[in-house]
Amino acid sequence: MELADIARRLELQDLYTGYAACLDSDALERWPDFFTEDCAYRVTSAENYAAGLPLGLIYATSRNMLKDRVSALREANIYEPQRYRHLISGISLGSEAADGLDVAANFLVIRTMQDGAMSIFAAGRYVDRVVRVAAGWQFARKIVVLDSRRIDTLLAIPL
Footprint of its own copies on 55-74 (CB under 8 A)? none
Measured between alpha carbons, how far is 102 from 155 in angstroms, rounded to an integer? 29
> CB neighbours of 131 closer than 8 A, spacing ≥ 6?
36, 99, 100, 101, 137, 138, 140
- Our finding on whether 153 is near its own copies (CB under 8 A) is no
Q: Which residues in 1-77 belong to E strands, given as ranges? A: 35-45, 58-60
| Residue 105 CB, nearest approach to its own copies (Å) | 9
State the binding string over 88-127 for its own copies (x if CB under 8 A, else -): xxxxx-----------x-x-x-x-x--xxxxxx--xxx--
Measured between alpha carbons, how far is 145 from 122 in angstroms, rounded to an integer? 10
Site residues for its own copies per CB under 8 A: 1, 3, 6-7, 9-11, 14, 16-18, 20-21, 24, 46, 83, 85-92, 104, 106, 108, 110, 112, 115-120, 123-125, 147-151
